[in-house]
């Protein structure tokens, strides 16, 4: 039983077989997926997927690499999207300083703050993207203490994880934790309390070992769950139930 707390089935890599893959993951025990918008079009497509598939939910927002897409008009339309009961979070939002071609840092930060303010206003959790921007990400998170959420695909230190946890955030673990060189994220997993662990694919990216390098899909989360269960010295079944409950608690899903 799997709740994939972060995926992108709107990605064009699924264009040829999207319905087949979604049926397959459902048959393989995936009971819920949060599909996260990264662009304005991606946000709209995430809502469409959530409307089409009972076990899909949507997060709507603008990823930092697409920061220029956030205008007063698109922000208004994102707010409108949140009226749909299947929309459960604002995301994927945040900062990405890794790629030089991304919008300037000040533009990213302004767009991040606007979407954090929207989440505060709506009482919705956020899905935060943080790449090579831990200090600035934490600073903005602290500006909005009322907002909770998940730091997706966590890549920071144990110290950074502690700061995020103090603010009430969950930590999202991807297939990276199954890689041979994953010492840092394994140390983070040891530190994170059981009730703050989420598992995610970031599909189609970051497939876990033994599927590393292939297109990712939600049922591959079983390898992430097995690894975290091993680190935490619990059974995979316990970890499955725990991560499902954690995702439901964050996203306020009652069923």
Q: Are 61 and 94 in contact (CB under 8 A)?
A: no
6 is in an annotated binding site: yes
Q: Measure the CA–CA gap between 226 and 91, rounded to whole angstroms.
A: 27
pLDDT above 90: percentage of residues in the chain: 98
- Residue 127's domain comprises 2-251
202 is in an annotated binding site: yes
Domain count, the chain: 1
8 is in an annotated binding site: yes
pLDDT in tens, 107-149: 999 999 999 999 999 999 999 999 999 999 999 999 999 999 9
pLDDT in tens, 8-51: 999 999 999 999 999 999 999 999 999 999 999 999 999 999 99
Q: Are 53 and 27 in contact (CB under 8 A)?
A: no
The string of DSSP letters for 83-103 reads: TSTTEEEEEEEEEE-S-TTSP
- Kindly tell me if the per-residue pLDDT of 255 is higher than 90: no
Its pTM stands at 0.97
26 is in an annotated binding site: no
List the CATH number of the domain containing 132. Answer: 3.20.20.140
63 is in an annotated binding site: no
The string of DSSP letters for 214-243 reads: SPP-GGGHHHHHHHHHHHHTS-HHHHHHHH
């Amino acid at each position: 039983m799997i709740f994939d707390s972060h995926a992108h089935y709107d990605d064009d890599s699924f264009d040829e077989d999207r319905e087949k893959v979604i049926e397959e993951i459902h048959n393989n025990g995936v009971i819920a997926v949060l599909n996260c918008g990264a662009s304005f079009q991606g946000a709209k497509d995430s809502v469409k997927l959530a409307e089409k598939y009972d076990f899909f939910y949507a997060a709507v927002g603008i990823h930092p690499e697409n920061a220029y897409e956030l205008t007063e008009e698109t922000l208004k339309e994102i707010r409108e999207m949140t009226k749909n009961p299947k929309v459960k979070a604002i995301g994927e939002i945040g900062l990405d300083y890794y790629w030089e071609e991304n919008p300037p840092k000040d533009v990213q930060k302004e767009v991040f703050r606007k979407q954090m303010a929207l989440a505060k206003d709506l009482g919705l959790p956020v899905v935060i993207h943080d790449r090579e921007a831990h200090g600035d990400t934490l600073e903005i998170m602290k500006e909005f203490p009322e907002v909770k959420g998940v730091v997706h695909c966590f890549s920071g230190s144990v110290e950074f994880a502690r700061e995020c946890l103090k603010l009430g955030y969950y930590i999202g673990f991807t297939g990276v934790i199954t890689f041979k060189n994953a010492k840092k994220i394994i140390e983070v997993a040891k530190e994170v309390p059981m009730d703050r662990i989420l598992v995610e694919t970031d599909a189609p990216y970051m497939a876990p070992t033994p599927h590393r390098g292939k297109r990712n899909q939600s049922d591959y989360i079983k390898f992430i769950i097995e690894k975290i269960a091993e680190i935490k010295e619990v059974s995979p079944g316990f970890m499955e139930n725990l991560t499902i409950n954690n995702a439901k608690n964050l996203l306020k899903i009652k069923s």
